[in-house]
Every structure is written in C-alpha cells, then in structure tokens.
Amino acid sequence: MKFLNYISIFAVPTAILIILLYGIFERKNVFDIFLKGANDGIKMVIKIFPTLVGLFLAIGALSSSGILDFIINLIKLVLNFAKIPAEIMPLAILRPISGSGSIAVATDLMKKFGVDSLIGLMVGTIMGSTETTLYTIAVYTSSVNIKKIRFILFAALAADLTGMIVSVAIWRILLRIF
C-alpha cells in the first residue's frame, strides 16, 4: 500500500518533468505551448458556459420543485411489478442529468440503508455503470456546434437505462432476492 502511495505522490511531478524533457529534446517552446493550450481552454469554457448555466438551473428547478416525488408516485406500480426499489428512483432520474446531484442522492441512500444493503449495492453499481448523459452530451455537442442530438441522446439514455436495469437484476440474482 505504501508503494502505491509513493507512486501517487510522484506521478504528477514525474509527468511534468517528462513533458519538459520531451519539449527540450524536441526543441519546442514548452511555455508558449502551455499558454496556447490554456488560452484554448478558456475559450472553450466561455463557449460552453451558457449551456452549463442552463443545465444547473434546470437541475435546481427539478430538485426543488417536488417533481421527482411526483414521477416516482406515477410509476410505483411498474416498479413494484419489476421488483425495482422505489428508493433508488431519485438516483435513476438524476444520474443522467447531474453528477453532483446523483452523488448527493447516492451518498444519502448509502447513509440511510448502508453500503452493504441491497439498495446500497444497487446504488453503487448504478453509479459505476451509468453516466451523466445529458451533461456530457450538452457540453460536448455545444463545444463543437452539433445541433441535432436526438440519435446520440436516444442511444446514451438507452445505455443508461440498460445499466440501471442490469444493476438491479445482477444484485437480485447474486443475492437471490426475487
């Protein structure tokens, strides 16, 4: 374990040293290249900033409006039939939208039910097998000016749904709880 700790301590300085040595070897002006990259990064942040503000506003409205509870109550019969715990549904709904929101929900669920409980295991697996799809699509497509995203969105949300369903099914099978 100490060996991994040493590696993690020296990883970043070693990477910087390798980059500097490579730049010297190739006779490149490393500092000017760094400044150009930083400038390009700032331009990208400015370009995607309106998209991020819109997403954060939508997430805040969704979280504080009570619509999550309303949606969960609407689909409770289907969830009971499919043996999907209703407690994980706030995570399932928020995960494609917000990484920080889904982490907060997952942390709360794990504190409430325990990390080794069925819900805790499902939550951990969902967090590892899904992505903040809407955020990722919004950032990447807005950075390269792609306007038509319906096929990307459909495929990504289908993958998230598959990850969530399989997460529930795998833990039901592994723990033989049906």
Q: What is the pLDDT along the chain (178 residues), one digit of tens a residue?
A: 688 788 888 888 999 999 999 999 998 888 899 899 999 989 988 887 887 787 778 777 776 788 878 888 899 899 999 889 999 998 998 899 888 778 888 998 999 999 999 999 999 999 999 998 988 888 888 878 888 888 989 999 999 999 999 999 999 999 886 5
Token look-up 């709880």 returns 177
**CA 86 – CA 109 distance, rounded (Å):** 12
Same domain, 78 and 102: yes
Q: Say whether both 130 and 89 belong to one domain.
A: yes
- Indicate the number of domains in the chain: 2
Domain shared by 177 and 97, yes or no: yes
Q: Which residues lie below 8 Å from residue 62, measured CB to CB, with a gap of 6+?
A: 68, 94, 97
Q: Which of 149, 131, 65, 120 is nearest to 94 (CA)?
A: 131
Based on the fold, state whether residues 52 and 78 are members of the same structural domain: no
- Do 128 and 146 lie in a common domain? yes
Question: What tokens appear for 5 in the block?
Answer: 């700790």
Asked if residue 160 and residue 93 are part of one domain, the reply reads yes
What pTM value is reported for the model? 0.67
Q: Identify the domain containing residue 58 by its residue range.
A: 1-65
122 and 161 co-located in one domain? yes
